[in-house]
Amino acid sequence: MNLEEVEEYLAESFDHVKQRLHVLDEKSLISIQYNKYIRMHKMLAQLGKTIVQSGELRHRQFLLDRKDICEALIDSTTMTISVVGIYSKYQLNITEKAFERMSNLQFLRVLKHNDDHQNIISSLGALSFTSPNLRLLDWSYFPMTCLHFTNNLEFLVEFNMVNSKLEKLWDGTKLLRNLKRISLENSKNLEELPNLSTATNLKKLQLSGCSSLVELPSSIGNTTNLEKLNLSGCSSLVELPSSIGNSTNLKELDLYGCSRLVELPPFIGNATNLKELDLYGCSRLVELPSSIGNATILEKLNLGGCSSLVELPSSIGNANLTKLNFRGCSSLVKVPSSIVNATNLKELDLDGCSSLMELPSFIGNVTNLEKLNLCGCLSLVELPSSIGNLTNLEKLNLSGCSRLLELPFTIGNLTYLKKLFLSECSSLVELPYSIGNLDDLRRLYLNGCSSLMELPSSIENATELVVLNLNACSSLVSLPQLPESILVLYAENCESLEKLDCYFCIPYISLQFVNCFKLNKEARDLILQRSNLESAVLPGGEIPACFTYRANVSSITVKLNQKPLPITQFKVCILFDKKGENEAKNMGEITVSCTNTSKQNSHTARILNGLYVCPVLTEHLYIFEFEVWELTSTELIFKFELYGDDFRKTWKIKKCGIIHLEHDVFIDYGGLRKDIPFHKKIKYRLG
C-alpha cells in the first residue's frame, strides 16, 4: 500500500506513525520501497493472518475468512463489538443492520470482481453504521442505494464505492475533517453528493462515469485542499458551481466526455495551481472564460472534440502550456496570436480543425515545439514562413490539408525534423529545394499528393531518410536519385511514373510499384537486377529471363554449381492467379520450404524468411529474397505455399522463378551499436 495512506489511516490511533513504520522497516517486518510504498513478505503476512484468526471468534478484532465474516454478520447480538477490521474478497450477504453492533469498526474493505454474482443482496433500505471510528470504507459493486451513519465521520480517511448502485451517500452534513479521498467511479445511478463543507482536507474526488450526476454541491468550494477532481463521463453534468474557483490547490480537473457542459465558471482561473484541464468531448462548450489566463502554471489543456468552440481568449498565452490539444474542434476559426507567448509548448494538436484558415504569423516564436499536427485542416492555404524557426520540431503532420499550395522555403531549417506527413495534400504541386536540408528526416509521406509533378533533386541529401511513401502520386513522372538510406519505397498507383533516374545502394530495400504500368524497361530492369532486395512488386505477366530457373507450377528444382555456404541466398519471383470467381482476399503470406536431396538421404533445410503480400494482384511480379541454412548438397527442391485458408481458397501461384545469389551475405548489426546509424550495414564474409 501507499505509505502516505497508511500513515493517514493510523494517525488518530498512534503518535509518530511515520517514525514507527520506519522502525518496522529497520527490523525487516515491513519493507518501505522508494520511500513511497509498504510491502510485506508473503510468509510474514500469512503469519499475521494466522495470528489474528486464532482464538475464539467473538474476541477477534480482524475478520478475513469468509465463513467467519458471514457468521459475525448474521449473529448481530454477540461477538461483533470487538471487530476493528473486515477484509473480504467476496460480496457479502447483508441486511441493513449487519454493522449496527460493530461500534469499533475502523477498516472495511469488500472487493468484488464484475463476474462475481455470489450473494448480491438488493435492498430498499440504507446500510447502517454505528462506529464513530471508521477510517476506511472501501466496497466495490455495493448493492444498496444509500447509506446511514448514526455518528459523525470525523476519522474517515478514505471512502471508495466504485461501480456501486448508490443513488445518494447519506443525509445531512457530517463532520469530515480527516477525509482525504472519495472514489465513486462508475456509480451510474448516483444523482447527488452530500454537503462537503466540512471536508476541508479532501485531496481527491473521483466521480468518473457517474452518468446520472447533474450537479456538484456549492460546498465543493470549501474543499480548499482538493488537488484532483475527476468528472470524466459525467454526461448529465450541465455546469460546475462557481465556488470551484476557491479550490486554489486544484491541480487536475478532468471533464472528459461531459457532453452537456455548456460553459465553465467565470472564475475557474482562480484555481491558480491548475496544471491539467481535460475538456475532451465537451461538444457544447462554446468558449473558455478569460480568467483561464490566471492559471499561469497550466501545462496541459485538452480541448479535443469541443466541436462548438469557435475561439480561445487571448489570455491563454499567459499559461505555461506544454501540451495543447484542439483535435476535432471543427468550428475553431483561429488560434489566438498570444499562443506565441507559450514558449514552453511542446505539442500542438489541431487535427480535424477544418475551419482553421491560418496559423499565427509568429508561430515560430514557440521554439520548444516538438510536435505540430495540422492533419485535416481543410481550410489552411499556407504556412507562415516563421515555421522555420521551430528548430526543435520533430514531427510535422499536414495530412489532408487539401488546399495547401506550397511549403515555405524555410522548412529546410527544421534540422531536427524526423517525420513529415503530407498525405492527401492534393493541391501541392512541388516541394521546396530546401527539403534536402532535413538531414535528420526519417519518414516522408507524400501519398495522395495527386498534383505533385516531381521531387527536387536535393532529396538525395536527406541522408537519414528511411521510408518514402509516394502512393497515388498520380502526376509523378520520374524519380531523382534518392538517399542511400532508403529502406522502404512505396509508389503504388503512381500511374504516370515512367522513369527511375536513380539506383538503390542499401541492402534489404523494399520497393513497391503496384499498378505503375507505365514504368519503362530501364526502370524495370533496375528493380529486377537489384541484389539484396527485401522485396519488390511491379507490373509484369511473365517471369523475367534473369531468373535462371522458371516453372509454371508452385515448386521448382535448383542445382547449384558450387558447394553451398553455411547461409545461401536466393531471389524468387512469383506470379498469382485467381481461383474461379471467388471474392479475392487482398492480402496473405507466402511460405517457403526447401528439401535438400542427395544420393544418401534428404532433409528439410531451414528457411530464414518468406513474404507478406498486400495487396495481392494478377499481372504483377512479387520478388523477394530469402536465406537457407544447413544445406548439405547442391540439389534443392523449393516449394512455395500460400499461408491461410482464405488466401488459399481465392489465389494460386501461377508461375515462379528463382536465382541463386552468389555474393557476400550482409548482416545488419546497426541496431546493436548506438554509434552506428541504424540504416548502415556491416558486411561480413561467411564461409
- CB 289, CB 316: distance < 8 Å: no
Q: Are residues 399 and 318 part of one domain?
A: no
pLDDT at residue 78 tops 60:
no
- CATH code of residue 477: 3.80.10.10
- CATH code of residue 585: 2.60.120
> What is the structure's pLDDT at 596?
74
Count of all residues that appear for the chain in the document: 687
| 3-state DSSP helix/strand/coil % of the chain, to nearest 5 | 15, 25, 60
- CB 434, CB 458: distance < 8 Å: yes
Answer yes or no: is 451 within a domain: yes
pLDDT-derived band of residue 687, with 50, 70 and 90 as boundaries? very low
Q: Which three cell numbers stand for residue 176?
A: 469530515
Q: Which of 322-336, 383-397, 672-686 has the lowest mean pLDDT?
A: 672-686
Answer yes or no: is 177 within a domain: no
Answer yes or no: is 472 within a domain: yes
pLDDT at residue 686 tops 50:
no
Q: Are residues 341 and 363 part of one domain?
A: no
> What is the structure's pLDDT at 631?
79
| Tens digits of residue pLDDT in 94-106 | 778 888 888 899 9
Answer yes or no: is 523 within a domain: yes
Q: Are residues 551 and 535 part of one domain?
A: no
> What is the structure's pLDDT at 76?
56
Residue with cell 481568449: 313
Closest CA to 538 of 528, 553, 547, 529: 528
Q: Are residues 660 and 610 part of one domain?
A: yes
* Separation CA 412–CA 66 (nearest Å): 70
> What is the structure's pLDDT at 258?
96
Q: Are residues 503 and 384 part of one domain?
A: yes
Answer yes or no: is 597 within a domain: yes
> What is the structure's pLDDT at 19?
92
Average pLDDT over residues 392-404: 97
* Separation CA 504–CA 507 (nearest Å): 8
> What is the structure's pLDDT at 183?
97
Q: Are residues 578 and 468 part of one domain?
A: no
| Tens digits of residue pLDDT in 356-367 | 999 999 999 999
Answer yes or no: is 68 within a domain: no
Phi/psi at 137 (5° precision)? -125, 105
Q: Are residues 527 and 559 part of one domain?
A: no
Q: Which three cell numbers stand for residue 221?
A: 468550494
Q: Which of 201-215, 260-274, 291-305, 649-663 has the lowest mean pLDDT?
A: 649-663
pLDDT-derived band of residue 113, with 50, 70 and 90 as boundaries? low
Q: Which helix (H) or strand (E) holds 67?
A: helix 66-74
- Per the structure, the count of domains in the chain is 4
Average pLDDT over residues 158-162: 96
Q: Are residues 397 and 310 part of one domain?
A: no
Answer yes or no: is 655 within a domain: yes
Q: Which three cell numbers stand for residue 193?
A: 453528493
pLDDT at residue 676 tops 80:
no
Range of the domain at 555: 547-667
Q: What residues contact 47, with CB distance under 8 A and at least 6 apart? A: none
Q: Are residues 535 and 386 part of one domain?
A: yes
The pTM score is: 0.85
Answer yes or no: is 340 within a domain: yes
β-pairing verdict for 252-254 and 666-667: unpaired
| Tens digits of residue pLDDT in 464-489 | 999 999 999 999 999 999 998 999 99
Closest CA to 551 of 528, 568, 575: 575
Q: Are residues 575 and 472 part of one domain?
A: no
pLDDT at residue 22 tops 50:
yes
Q: Are residues 535 and 554 part of one domain?
A: no
Average pLDDT over residues 564-581: 85
Q: Are residues 344 and 207 part of one domain?
A: yes
